[in-house]
Each structure stands twice: as structure tokens, then as C-alpha cells.
Amino acid sequence: MSKDVERKIPNKTKPTFRYAIISVTLILFLVGSLFTLFFGVNKILAEIKESIEIEVELNQGISSNGIDSVRQELNSKFFINTIQFYSKEEAIKSFEKELNQNIIDIAGFNPLYDAYLITLKNEYSVQDSLKNIQQELQQISGVKSVNYSNIVIDLVNANMKKVSTIGLIAIGILLLIAYSLIDSTIRLMMFSQRFIIRSMQLIGATKSFIIKPFILKGLYAGIISGILAVLLIFGGVYLIQEKFHLFQLENSDYVYLSIASIILIAIGIAICLLSTILSVNKYLRTKLDELY
């Protein structure tokens, strides 16, 4: 008789535990996917900021040594991302092609200047930094002027702020929803164990003895669900990179995503443990007739 009971108990409890893991995994996957989307959009906007060109015009008639000297100065600036030389001959050809006119024949000379087209690192592509950078670059010997588009930079920065604000609010709301859903899932799992909890209590088991196996089960549920959610997210990121080529992750990006993955797993564990402890304590205080 006892052997039959032992065979039946796992069949009732194990599916509930598996369903809890599946439910928690899907919820954590949604939270992680939203963060990954938020991270991806910010990365794309950062790449756009780093592609905005700033024109460093050189003095008319500057020598080759002067051009090289300006490049050395630009290479020494920590805020510069890329540097490309654009001669006045290349500039006039491009200009004439756009206008479909021979500017040199009309003006009698090439009115354009040699220039360096530079891009800045993401964190320096903001108005306050740009003004200081503009002043610093204009002090370089051989530089005539430094030009950039305020409108484009302001537009990109404004969009990044909107994305950050909306993303943080959405993640916060989803975390609250995630807590509610995970808590409900764990409570349902504990509901199926309420008579086992009461039976252990009736035979004199201490509170710590009763709650320990359920805490371990909640811990396992949080760990397994978190790891599965992280694997699904990284699998999705890999497919997006390989199939759609929307963005390419660098080593530093993997570091950020790894930290976020650890946080996601920790959130799953914390919610599962908290819900388990609250549920077990509830059934320890519940009267026998209320269990039905």
C-alpha cells in the first residue's frame, strides 16, 4: 500500500513543478527580451551618433607637412572615433557632380578646402561636449574651422532620451507584472502541497524542517527558469545577428549582457524564494478546515 502511495505522489507533484518552471521561464524570457530590445535600440542609436561626421576644414594652401601635423594632433584626441582625410580636389569633384556644373571654370579656382572628416565616440556626441571639442580643435595650428550639424545631433540625442525613458518605464512595469505572475505560479505550486505541509506539521516537524525542502524547490525553480530564459534570449540574439544583421555585438556588449543575465537569474531566484516562503508560512498558519 505504501509503495503505491509513493508511486502516485511524484506523478502529482512533479508536473506541477515542471509547469512552474515553464511559466517562470516564459515570464523571465519576456522581461529579458524587453531589456535586450531596449539594449539593441540604444546600441543602434549609439552607432548612428558615432557615424555623424564633423568637418575639420584646413587653411587654404596648407602644406603636406601641415596636413600630416593636423592628423597627428587629431590622433592624440581621446574623444575621436574615426579620422578620414578629404582633399579639396575630391570635394570639388563631388560638388560638381551634384550640381552638374564645372565650378573651377566658373570661379577660376577651387574655392573649397582640404578637410578631415571625423566622428566622435558615443559619449562625446552631446551638445555640451561638442562645444568644448569644437573650441579645442579650432586651436590646432592649420585648422580654419570646425563644422557639424546641431539639428542631427540634437535629434539623435532626443530620441535616445525618449527610448531610455520609455524603456525603463516599460521594464519597471513588466517587472511588477512578472512578480505578480511568478508569485501566482509559485502559490499554485504550493497549493498542491498544502496537505503535505499540514501532515508534516501534525507529526511534530519544526517550521524550519518543513520549509527547508520547499525553499530548495523554489531555489531550483528560480535557477533553472533563469538559465533557460537566458539561453532562449542569447539564442534569439544570435539568430537576429546571423539572419537579419541588425547589429553586431562587441566584447564589451557581451559583458553587459552577461551582467544583465546574472541579474535576471537573481530576480527569478529572489521572486521564487520570496513567494515560496510566504506561501508555506500561509499554509502553516491555515486551519485544517480552511485547507479544503
Q: Which residue range(s) make up the domain with 193?
A: 2-47+156-291
177 and 82 fall within a common domain: no
pLDDT digits (tens, 9 = 90+) for 130-183: 888 888 898 888 888 888 877 877 887 788 788 888 888 888 888 888 788 777
User: What b/e string do you get for 3-15 counting C-beta neighbours within 10 Å, with b at 16 or more?
Assistant: eeeeeeeeeeeee
**What Cα–Cα distance (Å) separates residue 85 from each residue in 25, 80, 82, 146?**
52, 14, 10, 14
Residues 195 and 264 in one domain: yes
pTM (2 decimals)? 0.67
pLDDT number for residue 9: 41
**Residue-level pLDDT at 227:** 93
Considering the domain architecture, whether residues 177 and 267 belong to the same structural domain is answered as: yes
Residue type, 71: R
Are 267 and 172 within one domain? yes
pLDDT recorded at residue 151: 80
Residue-level pLDDT at 181 = 79
The last residue of a domain, from among 148, 178, 205: 148
Give the CA radius of gyration of the chain: 31
- Which residues of the chain register pLDDT less than 70? 1-16, 92, 95-99, 101-111, 192, 198, 201, 245-247, 283-292
Domain boundary among 148, 178, 206: 148
Query: Are 160 and 273 found together in one domain?
Result: yes
**Same structural domain for residues 38 and 62?**
no
What's the burial of 137, exposed, middle or buried (CB within 10 Å: 0-12/13-18/19+)?
buried
Instruction: Say yes or no: 184 and 250 in one domain.
Output: yes
On whether both 95 and 196 belong to a single domain, the answer is no
Residues 286 and 199 in one domain: yes
